[in-house]
Amino acid sequence: MRFKSDQKLLSLVAIVVSALLFAYAMKFEGFKGISTLLKNSFILDVNYSTNNLPDTSIVLVNIAFQEQDSMKRAIEILSEYRPKVIGIDISNFNEMSSCLILIS
């Protein structure tokens, strides 16, 4: 059983048009749900939503906008209790992204 050439062409055009329409439709706000479902991020989101247990090996210390003298004193106090490692994120003091890491 063979296709006629015009049928082949019609099928090809239909496939291409469908693919383009599908890709275009995914850009609309109303189709965001479908496009999210198609992505790996959907599975990751479901995983994150069930991942509620905290990592007890990590302690966060809020340095907020304190001066660096206070921070220095805090590092000295914390190091007395022999933590594995102290990481400092001071990127909030200006736009530059950086941090320093100390180890005890």
Partner 1 sequence: MSNFDFLDFVLPFEEHRTENLGQFHQSNITYGHVNFSGGYEIEKFDSYNKKQIPHFSIELLGFLDRPAYGKILDDPSESFIPNYRRNFSVLELELYEVLDKYFVESRVNAKVIIMGHLGYSILMDPSQKNCIDTHETPVGLMFGSEILATAFSTLNGNFIHRYRSLNILLVFLNTVLLFMIINKTLTWRPILYFLFIQVLILCIWMGYSYIAYIILTKFSYLIDYESLIISTLVLGELSCFYKLGLSANTHTSLSTKP
Find out whether 71 and 88 touch, Cβ atoms under 8 Å.
yes
Considering only residues 24 to 63 of the shown chain, the ones binding partner 1 according to CB under 8 A are 37-63
What's the length of the chain? 104
State in angstroms the smallest separation of the CB of 25 from partner 1.
Answer: 13
Q: Which is nearer to partner 1, 28 or 70 (CB)?
A: 70
DSSP 8-state assignment for residue 45: H
Is residue 104 at the binding interface for partner 1, with CB under 8 A as the rule?
Answer: yes
- CA pair distance 25, 19, nearest whole angstrom: 10
State in angstroms the smallest separation of the CB of 30 from partner 1.
Answer: 19
Query: If binding means CB under 8 A, how many residues of this protein chain bind partner 1?
Result: 78
Is residue 21 at the binding interface for partner 1, with CB under 8 A as the rule?
Answer: no
- CA pair distance 71, 76, nearest whole angstrom: 9
Considering only residues 63 to 92 of the shown chain, the ones binding partner 1 according to CB under 8 A are 63-79, 81-92
Q: Which is nearer to partner 1, 4 or 30 (CB)?
A: 4
CA dihedral angle for residue 30, residue 32, residue 35, residue 36, rounded to 10 degrees: -150
